Structure 1
Amino acid sequence: MSVKAILNEKGRKVVTVTPQATVGEAAQLLSANRIGAVVVLDGERIVGLMAERDVVAAIAASGGACLGEPVDAHMSRDVPFCAEESEIEALMEVMNNRRARHLPVERNGRLVGIVSIGDAVRAHIRAIEHEAAQIKAYIAG
């Protein structure tokens, strides 16, 4: 299964912030949208990711004052990306190797979606279940 299939099923909505948004604003977006990360865009260019763990690290480092600081000061900058054509196995390998729970999806340098580790695991389980059903049908038939 490809990333494109996951996005077609779950949708392509991505919550974004600018680098100048505050950590508090990013935290509010995470909570309001019940998500684990927001993509940080400078215009149309992906410059980072602000995940729940980044908010926690900012609070641990700076206390509550960090909520008024810009996202740019606390976001993850070295964000791995994936393409719509990426297969689940490759996606899971990148997530595992980079310890990333969220990967922005880009096409022609533009953000077109985001996939989470939960999305990848669900898709992988469905693929395994489908394969098992095919094997059972082959054996029975």
Structure 2
Amino acid sequence: MSVRHILNEKGRNVITVGPQMTVREAATFLHDNHIGAVIIVDSQGGISGILTERDVVASVAKYGADCLEKPVSDVMWSNVYCCTEETSVDALMEMMNKRRARHLPVEKNGQLVGIVSIGDAVKMHIRAIERESEHIKAYIAG
């Protein structure tokens, strides 16, 4: 199983924002869209950064409520770890665990083509285990 399987199932829509959007506006996007991260893109659509719920909380803790009026470019992660559609689910989970990342943008030829969460990876991993279990049961029964 690969990231492509995850994206084919869940879709490739990614909520993106510009670097000048305020943290307050981005937090509203997160809430309204029931998501944990937004990708910050530059004027050419390239990935500039990622802002997660955790980043918003850390920013409030560090700067107080005034951070809500700062642009997301001031508090986002600019060193974004990405994966590709060919990345296996096992490699994805290992990367997320090692980087302590709950969300990874998916790139293809330098363009954003999706985003995957740790929940997506775990769900796909569980499905693979269930399928394997069914195959083993069928083999034993047959």
**Normalising by structure 2, what TM-score?**
0.98
Q: Deviations over 1:98-134 (max 9, x none)?
A: 0000000011100000000000000000000000100
Amino acid at match of 1:94: M
Matches within 5 A, 1:95-114: 95-114=96-115
Task: Give unmatched runs, 5+ long, in structure 2.
Answer: none
Deviations 1:44-94 (A, max 9, x none): 110110000000011011111111100010001221100001110000000
Runs of 4+ in 1 over 2 A off after TM superposition: none
> 2:80, 2:137 → 1: CA distance?
41
Secondary structure of 2:105's counterpart equals strand
Q: Which residue number in structure 2 is paired with residue 123 of structure 1? A: 124
Once the 2 structures are TM-superposed, how far is the Cα of residue 19 of structure 1 from its aligned partner?
Answer: 1.0
Aligned partner of 2:131: which letter?
A: H
1: distance between equivalents of 2:82 and 2:29? 21
**Pairwise CA distance, 1:22:** 0.6
Name the structure 2 match of 1:27: 27
* Corresponding residue pairs, total: 141
Structure 1: unaligned runs, 5 residues or longer:
none
**What amino acid is the match of 1:7?**
L
3-state SS of paired residue (2:21): coil
Residue 16 of structure 1 corresponds to: 16
Instruction: For 1:17 and 1:135, locate their aligned partners in 2 and report how far apart those are by CA, in whole Å.
Output: 46
Identity, % of aligned positions: 62
Could you tell me which residue of structure 2 aligns to residue 75 of structure 1?
76
- SS of the residue corresponding to residue 76 of structure 1 reads coil
Q: Report the equivalent of 2:135.
A: 134
